[in-house]
Amino acid sequence: MRWKNTEYTGWGRALRATGEMARPERLSALTALMAEEPAPALGNRRSYGDACLNDGGRAVDMTRLDRFIGFDPETGLARVEAGMPVGELARILAPKGWLPAVMPGTGFATVGGCIANDVHGKNHHGTGSFAQHVKNLTLVTAEGPQTVKGGTALFKATASGLGQTGVIAAAELQLIRAKGDIVTVTERRAGDFDDFIGLLDRSGATYTVGWIDATATGRDLGRGILEEAETGAGLVPAPKPAKAVPFDAPSFALSPAVVRTFNTAYFRRVPGRGRTVVKPINEFFFPLDRIRDWNRLYGKAGFHQFQCVVPLAEREAIRDMLRRIAASRLASPLAVLKRMGPGRAGYLSFPMEGYTLAVDFPNRPGVEKLVHQLEDLTAEAGGRIYLAKDALASGARIRAMYPEHEKWVRAVAKADPQGAMATDLVRRLGLRGT
Amino acid sequence: MSETWILLGATSSMARALARALADRGDGLLLAGRDMDDLRVLAADCTLRGARFAEAVAFDARKPERFADLIARTQADDGVLNAAVFVGSMPDQADIDADPALIDGTVTDSFTGPARFLQMLAPVLEEHGAGTVVGVGSVAGDRGRIGNYVYGAAKAGFHTYLSGLRNRLGRRGVHVVTVKPGPVDTAMTWGLPSLPFMTTPEAVAHDILRAVKTRRNVVYSAKIWRLIMLVIRLIPEPVFKKLSI
């Protein structure tokens, strides 16, 4: 296997790594390189911080192990290689009447990445997390490939395990039925935070997601748009061609005035009485994928995403966070509020029953301080920070948020005693112990 | 009329991209190569993407005694038969300098092996009186350069062979496309010092399908390489021999 020396980043582009990378195109090449010198895997690098970075070390790019290996149309069990992007899988499956049970906000995320971060989607409140629908997976370590069944300790350490138990090469997924390849989306305005929480609590929709105006203050604090959706069959509007951001945007592109103006227009886009629209599935599930490399809008310095979840009873913590975010004038238009269910599959899985808030911030002076304040509020509320997004948190705080962390450490120590799979995130947060 | 394609060297990422594009439109696929485990995975992938059928079949450019079985297999299907050749090998020139015997394998993989197979397939295609042969050559075959002239020589031989095959089969309604890719982001180029105008396997597959549809004879992928190679071919030999490009 030839190694390529390269500099790379996560989606946020605020943190960088340099190191050697391999990109096997078949399973035999992967097992051979793991036998020689194990290295952590990465996919399409859609995690934001340093979960997919190994500065100064080696990494295995899994994007060419991306094939759809098997599918049973009776049971809806599908077997795919780990480098398969979730959106591509959905594109192939939807005409057959099936979809991945859980889809994150970008279709570029690979199946391996979805398992390693135990991601959630717009149906988490009803359907749970991604890895809860993984029947088994193929894990490659220095000893070769092994099948890991759902529910075992090794599975729980691998699902949400940030790649520390070995390289996920393939997985068997339980799909869910979809009526077709369109979604009907009902969009409603939420006038303020209480209104928003009320709408989320009362929603009976399969898929829900709330866009929140993180720049709104005073009476408008917490205003936004709730989208509720169901899959359906019908005429599919022709997909619009993808556009790309061809260069790093200058810093004024997302200045506070621009963001406030944009957010107000975006809020008013939906009429006061709400509306129902029909969209192709990709457009609903992966709205930003239509703008390739949109992370370049944040310029060379990159950006951070803060995402937390707090228990249902701690909604005031979210209100408090929104106040501070609006006052900081650092928010971007990308902010999401959602209600989560309890579903989680692994020791380090992010979800808990409660409300989750995600906000993007350009990497500017003041962001680090703001994010630390938000982390304080999260910790006080008994909540959790999402490792797939994090680039700034401190280790002791994070470890305290994950009650099964010790179990994970023990399982990982057994699976990778040499620590060969460690990544920048794991080192920064001291996740594997000393 | 349904179409069937045999892809030689189907484990290569360019072949994978073409196979998927063909599967998307419902063609039948015979995926030929050495790594049967990997070919079976690709066959499953293509079937699930919509191929009329996809089957892994054994092909080794260095084992011509087994070609006849494969030729027979191509006749078992009643679709219009097409073939695409992706096989080839490119050892480092330095390795060849150390062990000149590597030349034999390089020429067999990149030229004589696939040529011998196509020579056996030609009468079958002539009988069908339709279909396309796609031969993947290389810009390296347009001029011998210090960096990889053995691979280049093998590809040059393959280009000339394809030109002759086109001359022969064209008379019987079978079209031959010569594709000359520049550097493509594949396992072959991964980790090599940075190469100019690198393209993706998906872009090459797209160019191939367009060339087949419009019945082009010789295409470059990416297109810019037609111009670059024109210039490189025009450099007089007394000058060229002093260059290291």
Give the model confidence (pLDDT) of A5-29 as tens digits: 999 999 999 999 999 999 999 999 9
CA distance A146 to chain B (A): 17
Query: Which chain A residues are within 8 Å of B49, Cβ to Cβ?
Result: 68, 92
pLDDT for residue A112 is more than 70: yes
Tokens describing residue A385: 């920070």
Structural domain boundaries of chain A?
182-398
Residue of A1, A69, A84 to mutate when probing chain B, most B C-beta within 10 A: A69
The order of strands in the sheet holding A4-9 is A4-9, A16-22, A58-61, A41-42
Residue B245 lies in a domain: no
Task: Compute the average pLDDT of residues B4-27.
Answer: 97
User: Is the CB of residue B37 less than 8 Å from the CB of residue B60?
Assistant: no
Distance CA B33, CA B12 (A): 9
For A233, other C-beta atoms within 10 Å of its C-beta total: 12
For residue A299, give the 3-state DSSP assignment.
Answer: coil
Residue A179: is its pLDDT beyond 90?
no
CB distance A25–B49 less than 8 Å?
no
CA–CA min distance B95, chain A (Å): 15
Mark out the alpha helices in B129-240 (DSSP H runs): 149-170, 201-214, 224-234, 237-240
- Whole-angstrom Cα distance, residue A267 to residue B183? 47
Query: Going by DSSP bridges, is the β-strand pair A98-100/A77-81 parallel, antiparallel, or unpaired?
Result: unpaired
Separation between Cα atoms, residue A275 and residue A417, nearest integer Å: 55
- The DSSP secondary structure of A202-251, one letter per residue, reads H---SEEEEEE-TT--GGGTT-EEEEEEEEE-SPPPPPPPPEE--SPPPG
Give the C-alpha separation, A396 to A386, whole Å.
15
Contact B41/A81, CB-based, under 8 Å?
yes
Angstrom distance (rounded) from CA A49 to CA A12: 6
pLDDT the model gives residue B76: 86
Q: What is the rounded average pLDDT of the residues A180-188?
A: 91
User: What is the distance between the terminal CA atoms of chain A, rounded to a whole angstrom?
Assistant: 32
- The pLDDT assigned to B244 comes to 85
Chain B CB contacts of A22 below 8 Å = 190
Average pLDDT over residues A79-94: 96
Q: Which of A49-63, A221-235, A379-393, B17-31 has the lowest mean pLDDT?
A: A221-235
pLDDT value at B104 more than 70? yes
Supply the pLDDT for residue A233: 80
Contact B44 A64 (CB under 8 A): no
At A257, the pLDDT band (50, 70, 90 cuts) reads: confident
Cα–Cα distance list, A109 to A102, A104, A106, B218 (Å): 12, 7, 6, 38
Report the percentage of chain B scoring pLDDT > 90: 91
- Smallest Cα distance from B168 to chain A, Å: 37
DSSP state of A85: B
**Mean local confidence (pLDDT), B236-244:** 92
Helices B149-170 and B113-128: crossing angle in degrees, nearest 10, is 10
Q: What percent of chain A has pLDDT over 90?
A: 84
- Inspect the interface and report whether the beta carbons of A64 and B13 lie closer than 8 Å: yes
Q: Tell me the residues of B at the A interface, defined by beta carbons under 8 Å apart.
A: 11, 13, 16, 35, 37-38, 41-42, 44-45, 48-49, 186-187, 190-192
Residue A63 exposure: Cα atoms within 13 Å on the Cβ side: 14
> Which of B190, B195, B202 is the best substitution to test chain A (most A C-beta atoms within 10 A)?
B190
Quick: pLDDT tens for A264-282: 988 999 999 999 999 988 8
DSSP-derived secondary structure letter, B174: -
Residue with tokens 């470890």: A399
Query: With 60 as the cut, is the pLDDT of residue A434 above it?
Result: no
pLDDT of residue A238: 64
pLDDT computed for residue B193 by the predictor: 83
pLDDT of residue A237: 61
Long-range CB contacts for residues B90-95, cutoff 8 Å, separation at least 24:
B90/B148, B90/B151, B90/B188, B91/B150, B91/B151, B93/B146, B93/B147, B93/B148, B93/B149, B93/B150
Name the least confident of A226-235, A352-361, B83-92.
A226-235
For residue B174, give the amino acid letter: V
ipTM: 0.92
Q: Which residues of chain B neighbour A70 with C-beta distances below 8 Å?
A: 44, 48
A45 touches A11 (CB < 8 A): yes
Q: Do the Cβ atoms of B191 and A68 come within 8 Å?
A: no
Nearest to A68 among B11, B13, B48 (CB): B48
Please report the pLDDT score of residue A291 as a whole number.
86
What are A6's two structure tokens? 């390269």
* Distance in angstroms (rounded) separating the CA atoms of residues A258 and A260: 6
Phi, psi values for residue A72, rounded to 5°: -110, 110
Amino acid identity, position A391: A
- B49 with A71: Cβ contact below 8 A: no
A-to-B residue pairs, Cβ atoms closer than 8 angstroms: 48
Mean pLDDT taken over chain A: 94
Tell me which residue has tokens 């001291």.
Answer: A430
The helix, strand and coil proportions of chain A, stated in percent and rounded to the nearest 5, come to 30, 25, 40
Chain A neighbors of B190, CB-CB under 8 A:
2, 4, 22-23
Contacts of B186 in chain A (CB under 8 A): 25
Q: What is the pLDDT of residues A113-169, one digit of tens each?
A: 999 999 999 999 999 999 999 999 999 999 999 999 999 999 999 999 999 999 999
Residues A331, A337: Cα–Cα separation, whole Å: 14
Plot region of A45 (φ>0 → left; ψ -120 to 50 → alpha; else → beta):
left
Q: Do A68 and B49 touch (CB under 8 A)?
A: yes
- Specify whether domain A182-398 bears CATH 3.30.70: no
In angstroms, the CA B12 to CA B214 distance is 25
Average pLDDT over residues B165-185: 97
Determine, for residues A68 and B190 on separate chains, whether the beta-carbon distance falls below 8 Å.
Answer: no
Residues A103-110 have a mean pLDDT of: 96
A-chain residues near B37 (CB < 8 A): 26-28
State the total domains in chain B. Answer: 1
Question: Measured between CB atoms, which of B35, B45, B192 is closest to A26?
Answer: B35
pLDDT reading at A382 higher than 90 = yes
Q: Which residues of B touch A27 (CB under 8 A)?
A: 37-38, 41
CATH number, domain with residue B42: 3.40.50.720
| Chain B contact for A369 (CB, 8 A cutoff) | no
Subunit contact B13:A81, Cβ cutoff 8 A: no
Q: What length does chain A have?
A: 434
pLDDT at A244: 82
What pLDDT score does A42 carry?
A: 98
Q: What is the structure's pLDDT at A410?
A: 96
Asked whether residue A315 carries a pLDDT value surpassing 60, the answer given is yes
Contacts of A72 in chain B (CB under 8 A): none
Measure CB to CB from residue B38 to each of A2, A5, A28 and give the nearest one. Answer: A28
Q: Do B191 and A3 touch (CB under 8 A)?
A: yes
| pLDDT on residue A2 | 87
Query: Do the beta carbons of residue B66 and residue B42 sit within 8 Å?
Result: no
pLDDT at residue A248 is higher than 90: no
Beginning with the edge strand found earlier in the chain, give each strand of the sheet holding A207-212 in spatial order. Answer: A275-280, A182-190, A224-232, A207-212, A335-340, A354-362, A303-311, A384-385
pLDDT at B172 over 80: yes
The parent domain of residue B96 ranges over: 3-240
Contact B35 A28 (CB under 8 A): yes
Would residue B229 count as lying in a domain?
Answer: yes
DSSP A422: -
- Mean pLDDT of all residues in chain B? 95
Average pLDDT over residues A245-259: 82
Q: What is the pLDDT of residues B34-52, one digit of tens each?
A: 999 999 999 999 999 999 9
- Nearest residue in chain A measured CA to CA from B40: A69
B7-42 in b/e form (b: 16+ CB < 10 A) is: bbbbbbbbbbbbbbbbbeeebbbbbbbbbeebbebb
pLDDT attached to residue A376: 96
DSSP classification of residue A73: T
Give the pLDDT of residue A180: 80
